[in-house]
Amino acid sequence: MRVNVLGNGDNAGLFQRGTKGKLLICNMPPFEIPRSEVYGTCMVDFKMMKALQEGRIQLDMYDWILGTRPKLWMEQSGTFYMKYSHLIKGFYSHIPKYAGDPKYAATNFNCGHMAVHYACAKMRATEVHIYGFDSIFDMNLDSFTDLLLESDRSTNNTVRLAGNWRPIWTEMFKEFKEVKFHLYHSHKNIKIPISKNVEVHAISHGQKT
């Protein structure tokens, strides 16, 4: 089964609506996608839960797949949980050991990581197609979500986060060695070691995948 995972990086537009397979998105998608085309939106951050609870962001149009910190938020906010429980497709609190020091693993294991891991472990994908994960290819952590929620994108923090995030991808691809991973970007100069089950595609906007 094919699962497409859409990130929020600058090259997310390489994904075209109508591409075959089930679609996972991360937080708010970078362009409008109807509910009927989305399997679920994955969320891992306290700040996203806070924004939803305060009404600053609306994601009622999608089913939710929630990670460790959103699960904790729901446990501590009963009214919020009851209001949105009908949207929750499930909780996914697994954080692999290769996410680093247990004190920081939930932070290191970002929304994109969770979405891809969920696709492999829970959806039993045989192939995962990954779009809009620019930080694997460039020192660019800019995200569409930054337009909605403030994030520290200073040079020092960008380098720190990239250093935390990138090794997780290498280990995840090795963990699911029976899954074929396809990464799409504007060039093939990937910045992480990859295993034989990973294929990198350099494509242009509008090119079918």
> If pLDDT is split at 50, 70 and 90, which confidence band does 33 have?
very high
- 40 within some domain: yes
Q: Taking residues 71-83, what's their average pLDDT?
A: 93
Range of the domain at 145: 2-202
- 192 within some domain: yes
- 108 within some domain: yes
For residues 45 and 111, the answer to whether their CB atoms sit within 8 Å is yes
What's residue 59's pLDDT? 93
Q: Taking residues 33-56, what's their average pLDDT?
A: 94
183 or 207, greater pLDDT: 183
Token pair in block for residue 114: 């969770």
- 93 within some domain: yes
Residue type for position 172: M
Examine the pLDDT at 73 and tell me if it is beyond 70: yes
Summarised one tens digit per residue, pLDDT across range 87-121 is 999 999 999 999 988 888 888 899 999 999 999 99
What's residue 166's pLDDT? 86
Q: How far apart are CA 146 and CA 8, in angstroms?
A: 9
Summarised one tens digit per residue, pLDDT across range 130-186 is 999 998 888 655 544 554 555 544 555 544 555 577 899 999 999 999 999 999 999
- 207 within some domain: no
In 31-190, beta strands by DSSP E: 40-43, 64-66, 88-91, 127-131, 180-185
What's residue 139's pLDDT? 60
The total domain count for the chain is: 1
What's residue 100's pLDDT? 86
Q: How far apart are CA 200 and CA 185, in angstroms?
A: 8
- 209 within some domain: no
What's residue 147's pLDDT? 44
Residues whose CB falls within 8 Å of the CB of residue 70, separated by 6 or more in sequence, listed in order: 43, 44, 45, 46, 48, 49, 64, 91
- 45 within some domain: yes
Return the minimum-mean-pLDDT range out of 63-72, 155-164, 186-195: 155-164
Summarised one tens digit per residue, pLDDT across range 10-32 is 888 899 999 999 999 999 998 99
- 30 within some domain: yes
